[in-house]
Structure 1
């Protein structure tokens, strides 16, 4: 088993108030289900959430990411998470809310890194990591876009 590592940072401007965006982001399960590839997401304890993502398969790697993360919501401008326990996938990251270009807009940034444990020969890691990085970039970009669309349409609320 080897660990495949990725790191992605994306942001988007959302037309909403800071308080409303914060309320939406505090709904970890509701907002988390907007992430592309999330098949199951549930709260399993205080600040603990279990994820099962869609199967990843590219001809060399085939696995279903599953992990538990602890969320810290104590910072009014950021929500962070880190992996808890043993799993085949680990994710660390931060949602950060900053002032947007106008008073009616906020910038939501997601800065994340992840590691996936896959059963491949170590020599193929250099071939797999670019695919994993592309996938991570697409998922994170899709996630911020989905959050923006849901908040601006009013389909999610805190």
Structure 2
């Protein structure tokens, strides 16, 4: 078994109030279910949540990610998470929110890093990690898009 690592930092402008954005992010289950690939997210106890994710399958890797994370929500402007317990997938990260300087607009940033334990020869790591990085970037962008979609009012056509 080897650990495949990836990480990214991305941000988006959201047309919503700062309090509304933070309220969504503080609702770990509601926000977490917007992440692409999350099959289920359940509160375990305290600040611990259990994630079940879509299987990852390509020519070299097959993994059904299953993990738990603990969230620190004491600073609504900088919500963080880290792995809890031993699992085949681990994720660390932070949501940072701040006013953009434009009325009714917030900057929402997510910074993550993750590791997946896979059964491949160690020599394969350098070949697999670029694909893991690409997938991480796509999932993170999709997550921000879904969060923004949840927060921004939908324009109604006349």
TM-score normalised according to structure 2 size:
0.95
SS of the residue aligned with 2:34? Answer: coil
- Trace 1:1-158 onto structure 2 (pairs within 5 A): 1-153=1-153
- 1:53 and 1:76 mapped to 2: Cα distance? 26
Aligned residues: 154
- 1:68 and 1:87 mapped to 2: Cα distance? 7
Quote how far apart the aligned CAs of 1:75 are.
Answer: 1.0
SS of the residue aligned with 1:9? Answer: strand
Deviations 1:124-146 (A, max 9, x none): 00110000000000000000010
SS of the residue aligned with 2:103? Answer: coil
Quote how far apart the aligned CAs of 1:8 are.
Answer: 0.7
- 1:12 and 1:148 mapped to 2: Cα distance? 8
- 2:92 and 2:24 mapped to 1: Cα distance? 20
Ranges in structure 1 where 5+ consecutive residues have no aligned partner: none
- 2:33 and 2:98 mapped to 1: Cα distance? 23
Q: Is the 8 A contact 2:26 2:76 kept in 1?
A: no
Quote how far apart the aligned CAs of 1:88 are.
Answer: 0.1
- 2:38 and 2:99 mapped to 1: Cα distance? 29
4+ residue runs of structure 1 moved beyond 6 angstroms?
none
- 1:56 and 1:101 mapped to 2: Cα distance? 40
Q: What RMSD over aligned residues (CA atoms) do the two structures have, in Å? A: 0.9
SS of the residue aligned with 1:103? Answer: coil
SS of the residue aligned with 2:102? Answer: coil
Quote how far apart the aligned CAs of 1:100 are.
Answer: 1.3
